[in-house]
């Protein structure tokens, strides 16, 4: 696990790239070693976090004939299997690293055949000194990031956006207005967009070829085959899932440094710890954090799992320190990301790093196995529409809302529509699902944004973004289409980006068995009703497959979610910072209406309404504009 950066200067351009500065910016990702290779307008840099083969495997690494040079960030989990085959075919290895296996496979079988065989998380670059071509690729699920820019002098790339600006300080800092529009809706910016018009993100499962400092080819090399349908019975699927999950966990245990696991107390991390215990990991170190606010504290559940498996368990209560951690997170995200679970993710990574260098996680479980309520709501409305019962359901909801007012007056009187699930009954197509996801709905954005900023954005393409991915899954049915949608949008662009940055800020490598592409292909082939059993049967297949592994009744507990107590933090620790950034400094005045922000803040502080989901994204946005000196 490492940080990479590099460049290719076009013909006739002078090499003025600051590669050492870029690597200094990436040192947290690779504090153990630094390596640089340069030759005739090409530079490759590597900051190494040693995980496998601690004594050798330094990068940049050359092929035996010196023709190819590689820099690689990530882990190839099946490298031993590939290595054994290559040895039988005559290859002789000089290290025990997966980097050398990756390079030899690339040289021997070519770029595309190499990518097809990799089982892991990665972003890497290979320079061919003979053909003068640069190859870059990112893993299938998008676990490892890779950002790049085409500049007048050529092509630059890095693991983080901040490193790009260190590599080439003249990189323009103009904001991408469409990207900010996406951010306000989803709380993240989808690739290939970034916060800057000058910076792009290589999308998951994509590869590219660079010649003479320009992109020659960019393509997607992997996708789910939606035509593959499993005929396994539910019981057979449960058995197969256990086997595949154990295998996905086993290959993620290869490490020459101490290894442990995050244990949030939720189902996904608990199953991951259970699999590690079944595979005989000893000692099995687990790490959990909690909050003083019981509404957000899962430590009792994490402790129950730790006792059940006899792990070497470590817990920590996190006190609110968002004011000091926010600038650091924004710096390394390089763009606005408003997922407030970044704060606990940073702290649990920092906590775990005191004892281990690798931590297994449960990331991906919700997106692969239908863990969110939105899957049920979207699937239900689609079904009602097919049966031409949507109008009837809308009237039923109108009546039940009134009944709830009569029998539950303590909840406060509400009228129809009583929430997002009701509001989407009047919408069509993918706009329904977007409405469930949105932090700022289209209506709320129209009220928030200044006319000037709305003109800069032009026609919003937030629905187009979702519908494009939804269309790719047109051969799937029901909930499986929505699972694919989340797997290709929210999972890589929010969850995995957040975990990579927050863990690598602490020089910690995170691995998740749920992100194994072989496992995901298998689960995608199963019927949607195996995963979602209405009305509350979220993760039905996962729970049934692993219910005997966990304590009695554990699978029946309500989902809590891994997030910070942001409503309380905004009232206390963050209120002065919010006022300073959004109202006193006015850094977003060209984009957002100050009167709307002031009302959000006043209502929240007075307890009239909770607006943490609206205020936190604006604070993050303002911090990014200030820190990166964004040109407004």
Residues designated catalytic? 2
Strands, sheet with 61-62, edge to edge from the N-terminal-most edge strand: 61-62, 68-76, 120-128, 133-138, 206-211, 214-220
In terms of DSSP bridges, do strands 312-318 and 285-291 run parallel, antiparallel, or are they unpaired?
parallel
Tell me the three state secondary structure of residue 308.
helix
Give alpha helix (H) positions in 251-341: 267-278, 299-309, 322-333
Task: Compute the Cα dihedral for 382, 420, 562, 626 and give only its sign.
Answer: positive
- Tokens describing residue 514: 């749920």
- 8 Å CB contact between 187 and 438: no
Residue-level length of the chain: 632
Of 162, 167, 128, 127, whose CA–CA distance to 145 is shortest?
162
Separation CA 581–CA 586 (nearest Å): 6
What does the DSSP assignment read for 493-550? Answer: IIIIHHHHHHHHTTT-EEE-GGG-HHHHHHHHTS-HHHH-BTTTBTTHHHHHHHTTTS
Separation CA 182–CA 189 (nearest Å): 6
Separation CA 376–CA 478 (nearest Å): 10
Of 310, 287, 342, 414, whose CA–CA distance to 564 is shortest?
342
Strands, sheet with 509-511, edge to edge from the N-terminal-most edge strand: 312-318, 285-291, 259-262, 358-360, 509-511
| Long-range contacts of the stretch 33-37 (C-beta < 8 A, 24+) | 33/58, 35/59, 35/60, 35/71, 36/60, 37/62, 37/69
Place of tokens 């690689």: 72
Query: DSSP assignment, residue 279?
Result: T
- Tokens describing residue 100: 């050398």
Separation CA 178–CA 175 (nearest Å): 9
Element (H, E) at 220: strand 214-220
What does the DSSP assignment read for 463-506? Answer: HHHHHHHHHHTTTS-THHHHHHHHHHTHIIIIIIHHHHHHHHTT
What does the DSSP assignment read for 323-347? Answer: HHHHHHHHHHH-S----TTHHHHHH
């Amino acid at each position: 696990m490492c940080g990479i950066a590099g460049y290719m200067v076009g013909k006739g351009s002078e090499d003025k790239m600051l590669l050492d500065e870029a690597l200094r910016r990436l040192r947290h990702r690779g504090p153990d070693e630094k390596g640089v290779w340069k030759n005739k307008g090409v530079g490759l840099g590597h900051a190494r976090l040693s995980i496998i083969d601690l004594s050798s495997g330094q990068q940049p690494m050359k092929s035996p004939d010196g023709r190819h040079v590689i820099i690689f960030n990530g882990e190839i989990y099946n490298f031993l299997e590939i290595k054994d085959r290559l040895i039988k075919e005559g290859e002789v290895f000089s290290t025990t690293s997966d980097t050398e296996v990756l390079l030899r496979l690339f040289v021997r079988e070519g770029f595309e055949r190499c990518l097809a065989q990799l089982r892991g998380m990665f972003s890497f670059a290979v320079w061919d000194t003979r053909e003068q071509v640069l190859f870059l690729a990112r893993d299938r699920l998008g676990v490892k990031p890779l950002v790049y820019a085409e500049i007048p002098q050529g092509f630059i790339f890095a693991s983080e956006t901040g490193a790009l600006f260190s590599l080439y300080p003249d990189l323009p800092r103009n904001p991408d207005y469409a990207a900010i529009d996406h951010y306000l809706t989803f709380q993240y910016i989808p690739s290939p967009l970034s916060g800057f018009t000058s910076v792009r993100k290589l999308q998951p499962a994509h590869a590219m070829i660079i010649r003479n400092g320009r992109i020659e080819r960019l393509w997607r090399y992997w996708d789910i085959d939606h035509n593959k349908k499993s005929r396994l019975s539910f019981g057979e699927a449960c058995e197969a899932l256990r086997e595949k999950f154990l295998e996905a966990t086993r290959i993620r245990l290869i490490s020459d440094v101490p290894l442990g696991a995050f244990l949030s107390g939720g189902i996904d991390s608990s199953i991951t710890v259970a699999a590690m215990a079944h595979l005989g990991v000893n000692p099995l170190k687990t790490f959990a954090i909690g909050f003083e606010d019981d509404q957000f504290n899962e430590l009792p559940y994490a402790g129950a799992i730790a006792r059940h498996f006899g792990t070497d368990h470590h817990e920590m209560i996190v006190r609110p320190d968002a004011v000091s951690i926010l600038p650091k997170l924004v710096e390394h995200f390089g763009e606005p990301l408003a997922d407030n679970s970044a704060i606990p993710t940073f702290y649990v990574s920092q906590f775990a790093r005191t004892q281990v260098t690798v931590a297994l996680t449960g990331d991906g479980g919700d997106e692969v196995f239908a863990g969110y309520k939105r899957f049920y709501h979207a699937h239900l409305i689609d079904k009602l529409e097919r049966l031409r019962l949507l109008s009837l359901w809308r009237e039923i909801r109108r009546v039940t809302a009134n009944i709830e007012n009569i029998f539950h007056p303590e909840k406060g009187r509400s009228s129809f529509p009583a929430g997002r699930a009701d509001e989407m009954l009047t919408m069509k197509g993918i706009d329904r699902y977007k409405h469930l996801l949105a932090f700022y709905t289209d209506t709320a954005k129209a009220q928030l944004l200044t006319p000037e900023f709305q003109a800069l954005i032009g026609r919003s393409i937030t629905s187009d973004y979702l519908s494009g991915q939804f269309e790719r899954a047109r051969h799937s049915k029901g909930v499986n289409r929505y699972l694919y949608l989340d797997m290709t949008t929210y999972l890589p662009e929010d969850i995995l980006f957040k975990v990579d940055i927050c863990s690598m800020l602490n020089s910690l490598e995170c691995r998740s068995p749920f992100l194994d592409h072989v496992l995901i292909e298998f689960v995608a082939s199963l019927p949607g009703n195996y995963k979602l059993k209405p009305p509350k049967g979220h993760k039905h297949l996962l729970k049934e497959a692993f219910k005997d592994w966990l304590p009695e009744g554990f699978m029946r507990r309500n989902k809590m979610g891994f997030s910070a107590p942001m409503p309380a933090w905004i009232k206390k620790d963050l209120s002065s910072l919010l006022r300073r950034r959004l109202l006193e400094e006015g850094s977003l005045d060209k984009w957002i209406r100050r009167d709307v922000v002031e009302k959000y803040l006043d209502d929240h502080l007075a307890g009239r309404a909770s607006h943490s989901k609206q205020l936190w994204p604006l604070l993050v946005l303002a911090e990014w504009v200030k820190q990166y000196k964004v040109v407004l």
